[in-house]
Every structure is written in C-alpha cells, then in structure tokens.
A = this chain, B = another copy of it.
C-alpha cells in the first residue's frame, strides 16, 4: 500500500503516455524490464491501479451538460433509491454523504432541457423527498490523480 518513488514515476509516466509498453517504460525509467513488470503487477494486485479502462467523454457522446444533484431520502428507503438510481444511465456516480443531503449524484444530459427529463426520472421515485441541482458551468480542474500520486510517492 505504500508507494515509493519508482512506483510514482511509473504511474505518472503511464498517465502521460498510456499507449507506452513495459519495455519502453523500462528504458525511460532506467530500470530493468522485469522490475517495471513486477512493480506494475504489484500495483495492480494492491489495488492502487484499478485498471486501464478507456476514459470516455460524455460530451463527445452527445451529453455535454453535467450536473450535481443533492437528494434527500425518506428514512429507510436508501437501498431502494440506490437500486433505482443505478438503473438510470445518466447517473454517472452516486455517493451517500453526511450533511444536509443524504446522497449526491453526478448527472449528464443532452441539453439543459434534457436535464429536466433526467431529473424527473431520478426524482420520480417514491423514496426521494427533495432534490436540489447544481449545473456545472466550467470544469477548471478535471478529475486528476497525478498530484496526489506525486505527493504519496515523496511523502511516504
């Protein structure tokens, strides 16, 4: 679970040039191929690297509108609501949280008008008491992990 400097360099390199192979990585990092291979295997079985799935852009798929919805759930209906939301393709992510809301979910839609349809579908379910939605305008920091990896590689 601890990440050393070499692990960090491997992850960063992989993030910058994903198509790169193990051999090329070993050349760039100045270590033997077997080492890189062993490190990668370890990182994956550790769960540090979950996978290499393709990053798909919802906007390019025709869903340029992103929003976050805070949901308040009727007591004891949590499981049902989770199951309901899991069936909605436009729900990209769902968290249960502390605080004023009970759940927070990330939505996408084809347009602002279409967002209404999505929200209706999301909240059109018995267990949901209230929903408040914030539409995303800009995304100054897209989902990233590299700075954290670098910090973990140095600090620990």
Contact = CB atoms under 8 A, between A and B. Distances in A.
Interface string A121-156: 000000000001111111111111101111110001
Contacts of A76: none
Given A132-B99, A141-B85, A11 B54 contact: yes
A155 to B, nearest CB: 9
Interface string A78-110: 000010011001111111111111001110100
Contact of A94 (B14, B62, B141, B150): B141
Given A18-B52, A89-B150, 18 more contacts: A3-B61, A11-B54, A15-B54, A47-B57, A47-B59, A48-B57, A48-B60, A49-B56, A58-B148, A86-B141, A92-B145, A93-B142, A93-B144, A95-B136, A95-B137, A95-B139, A96-B136, A97-B135
